[in-house]
Amino acid sequence: MSTPETDWPDALFSSLLEAGIGTVAYVPDAGHARVIALAHEAEGITAVPLTTEEEGIGYLAGAWLGGLKGVLLMQSSGVGNCINTLALAAQARFPLLMLVTMRGEWAELNPWQNPAGGAAEESLRLMGVRTWRAERADEVEPLVSGALAMTFAGDMSGAVLLGQRLIGRKLW
Protein backbone atom coordinates (compact mmCIF):
# COMPACT_ATOMS: atom_id res chain seq x y z
CA MET A 1 0.00 0.00 0.00
CA SER A 2 1.59 3.24 -1.07
CA THR A 3 1.52 6.31 1.15
CA PRO A 4 0.15 9.44 -0.54
CA GLU A 5 2.81 12.09 -1.03
CA THR A 6 1.45 14.35 1.70
CA ASP A 7 0.54 11.73 4.32
CA TRP A 8 4.00 10.57 5.34
CA PRO A 9 4.16 12.80 8.47
CA ASP A 10 1.02 11.15 9.85
CA ALA A 11 2.44 7.71 9.11
CA LEU A 12 5.69 8.74 10.79
CA PHE A 13 3.86 9.96 13.86
CA SER A 14 1.87 6.73 14.08
CA SER A 15 5.17 4.84 14.14
CA LEU A 16 6.28 6.92 17.10
CA LEU A 17 3.09 6.15 19.02
CA GLU A 18 3.31 2.43 18.23
CA ALA A 19 6.89 2.37 19.53
CA GLY A 20 5.82 3.89 22.84
CA ILE A 21 7.50 7.23 22.30
CA GLY A 22 6.51 9.56 25.12
CA THR A 23 8.46 12.69 24.28
CA VAL A 24 9.44 14.53 21.11
CA ALA A 25 12.27 17.09 21.28
CA TYR A 26 12.78 19.36 18.32
CA VAL A 27 14.17 22.40 16.67
CA PRO A 28 11.47 23.49 14.23
CA ASP A 29 11.73 22.79 10.53
CA ALA A 30 9.13 23.24 7.83
CA GLY A 31 9.50 19.58 6.87
CA HIS A 32 8.67 18.52 10.43
CA ALA A 33 5.84 21.02 10.93
CA ARG A 34 3.04 18.44 10.79
CA VAL A 35 4.78 16.01 13.17
CA ILE A 36 5.56 18.82 15.60
CA ALA A 37 1.92 19.91 15.59
CA LEU A 38 0.78 16.31 16.16
CA ALA A 39 3.25 15.95 19.05
CA HIS A 40 1.88 19.04 20.76
CA GLU A 41 -1.70 17.85 20.30
CA ALA A 42 -1.21 14.24 21.39
CA GLU A 43 -2.17 13.03 24.85
CA GLY A 44 0.77 11.36 26.52
CA ILE A 45 3.46 13.07 24.45
CA THR A 46 5.68 15.75 25.98
CA ALA A 47 6.76 18.06 23.17
CA VAL A 48 9.98 19.90 23.98
CA PRO A 49 11.15 22.77 21.78
CA LEU A 50 14.91 23.26 21.98
CA THR A 51 17.04 26.35 21.39
CA THR A 52 19.70 24.21 19.68
CA GLU A 53 19.72 20.60 18.57
CA GLU A 54 22.37 19.21 20.92
CA GLU A 55 20.13 19.98 23.89
CA GLY A 56 17.97 17.13 22.67
CA ILE A 57 20.76 14.57 23.06
CA GLY A 58 21.18 15.38 26.74
CA TYR A 59 17.45 15.67 27.24
CA LEU A 60 16.70 12.26 25.70
CA ALA A 61 19.54 10.67 27.68
CA GLY A 62 17.99 11.93 30.89
CA ALA A 63 14.54 10.85 29.78
CA TRP A 64 15.84 7.34 29.08
CA LEU A 65 17.50 7.21 32.50
CA GLY A 66 14.05 7.93 33.92
CA GLY A 67 12.25 5.37 31.76
CA LEU A 68 10.83 7.64 29.06
CA LYS A 69 11.42 6.98 25.35
CA GLY A 70 11.80 9.90 22.94
CA VAL A 71 13.02 11.02 19.55
CA LEU A 72 14.82 14.14 18.30
CA LEU A 73 13.64 16.11 15.27
CA MET A 74 15.86 18.53 13.39
CA GLN A 75 16.87 19.92 10.02
CA SER A 76 20.17 18.86 8.44
CA SER A 77 21.76 22.17 9.44
CA GLY A 78 21.37 21.05 13.06
CA VAL A 79 23.45 17.91 12.68
CA GLY A 80 26.67 19.87 12.97
CA ASN A 81 25.49 21.39 16.25
CA CYS A 82 25.23 17.91 17.72
CA ILE A 83 28.68 16.55 16.96
CA ASN A 84 30.47 16.71 20.32
CA THR A 85 27.32 16.00 22.32
CA LEU A 86 26.86 12.75 20.39
CA ALA A 87 29.66 11.47 22.63
CA LEU A 88 27.08 11.20 25.40
CA ALA A 89 24.91 8.80 23.43
CA ALA A 90 27.92 6.88 22.12
CA GLN A 91 29.76 6.57 25.41
CA ALA A 92 26.74 5.59 27.50
CA ARG A 93 25.05 3.70 24.68
CA PHE A 94 21.84 5.62 25.13
CA PRO A 95 19.22 4.76 22.53
CA LEU A 96 18.97 7.85 20.32
CA LEU A 97 16.92 8.28 17.16
CA MET A 98 17.18 11.51 15.20
CA LEU A 99 14.76 12.32 12.40
CA VAL A 100 16.52 14.73 10.07
CA THR A 101 14.81 16.70 7.30
CA MET A 102 17.32 17.42 4.55
CA ARG A 103 18.22 20.76 3.04
CA GLY A 104 21.01 21.59 0.67
CA GLU A 105 20.88 18.42 -1.38
CA TRP A 106 18.26 18.95 -4.13
CA ALA A 107 16.65 22.04 -5.67
CA GLU A 108 18.10 24.12 -2.86
CA LEU A 109 17.98 27.85 -3.57
CA ASN A 110 19.66 28.98 -0.36
CA PRO A 111 23.30 27.99 -0.86
CA TRP A 112 24.08 28.53 2.84
CA GLN A 113 22.26 25.23 3.40
CA ASN A 114 24.58 23.33 1.08
CA PRO A 115 27.73 22.79 3.20
CA ALA A 116 25.90 21.30 6.19
CA GLY A 117 23.34 19.51 4.06
CA GLY A 118 26.05 17.86 2.02
CA ALA A 119 28.03 16.81 5.09
CA ALA A 120 25.19 15.76 7.39
CA GLU A 121 25.07 12.02 6.69
CA GLU A 122 28.84 11.58 6.59
CA SER A 123 29.21 13.59 9.80
CA LEU A 124 26.71 11.38 11.58
CA ARG A 125 28.51 8.26 10.42
CA LEU A 126 31.86 9.63 11.53
CA MET A 127 30.36 9.96 15.02
CA GLY A 128 29.10 6.38 14.98
CA VAL A 129 25.47 7.10 14.16
CA ARG A 130 23.75 4.57 11.89
CA THR A 131 21.82 6.27 9.08
CA TRP A 132 18.88 5.42 6.85
CA ARG A 133 17.46 7.54 4.02
CA ALA A 134 13.88 8.02 2.86
CA GLU A 135 13.42 9.53 -0.59
CA ARG A 136 9.77 8.54 -1.20
CA ALA A 137 6.68 8.86 0.97
CA ASP A 138 6.11 5.11 1.15
CA GLU A 139 9.61 4.58 2.55
CA VAL A 140 9.13 6.78 5.60
CA GLU A 141 7.00 4.61 7.87
CA PRO A 142 8.95 1.35 7.40
CA LEU A 143 12.30 3.10 7.80
CA VAL A 144 11.24 5.01 10.92
CA SER A 145 9.58 2.02 12.57
CA GLY A 146 12.60 -0.12 11.78
CA ALA A 147 15.00 2.49 13.08
CA LEU A 148 12.99 2.83 16.29
CA ALA A 149 13.11 -0.92 16.80
CA MET A 150 16.83 -1.12 16.14
CA THR A 151 18.01 1.87 18.14
CA PHE A 152 16.02 0.97 21.25
CA ALA A 153 16.73 -2.76 21.09
CA GLY A 154 20.41 -2.11 20.45
CA ASP A 155 21.08 0.86 22.74
CA MET A 156 22.54 2.68 19.75
CA SER A 157 22.39 5.98 17.91
CA GLY A 158 20.61 6.26 14.59
CA ALA A 159 19.23 8.86 12.22
CA VAL A 160 16.58 8.67 9.52
CA LEU A 161 17.30 11.27 6.87
CA LEU A 162 14.18 12.54 5.13
CA GLY A 163 15.35 13.61 1.70
CA GLN A 164 14.71 17.01 0.20
CA ARG A 165 12.87 15.49 -2.74
CA LEU A 166 10.46 13.94 -0.25
CA ILE A 167 10.02 17.19 1.66
CA GLY A 168 9.53 19.17 -1.55
CA ARG A 169 10.95 22.33 -3.01
CA LYS A 170 11.05 25.36 -0.79
CA LEU A 171 9.52 28.19 -2.78
CA TRP A 172 11.05 31.66 -2.49
Nearer to other proteins, 61 or 100 (CB): 61
* Smallest distance from other proteins to CB 90, Å: 9
Q: Is 55 among the residues that bind other proteins (CB under 8 A)? A: yes
- Kindly report each contact of residues 27-30 with a partner whose C-beta sits within 8 Å and lies 24 or more positions away, as own/partner: 27/51, 27/52, 27/53, 27/56, 27/73, 27/74, 27/75, 27/78, 29/73, 29/74, 29/75, 29/101, 30/101, 30/167, 30/170
* Smallest distance from other proteins to CB 2, Å: 35
Nearest 5°: phi and psi at 25?
-100, 145
Angle at 158 between CA 156 and CA 163, to 5 degrees: 175
Calculate Rg over the CA atoms of the chain: 15
Which of 68, 106, 135, 142 is close enough to bind other proteins by CB under 8 A? 68
Nearest 5°: phi and psi at 34?
-65, -45
Which of 43, 51, 109, 111 is close enough to bind other proteins by CB under 8 A? 51
Nearer to other proteins, 88 or 150 (CB): 88
80-89 residues labelled b (16+ CB within 10 A) or e (exposed) = ebbeebbebb
The residues in 125-154 that bind other proteins, with binding defined as CB under 8 A, are none
Nearer to other proteins, 72 or 167 (CB): 72
Q: Is 43 among the residues that bind other proteins (CB under 8 A)? A: no
* Part in contact with other proteins (CB under 8 A); list of ranges 4-12, 52-60, 98-106, 157-165: 52-60
Q: Is 66 among the residues that bind other proteins (CB under 8 A)? A: yes
Which of 42, 46, 138, 170 is close enough to bind other proteins by CB under 8 A? 46
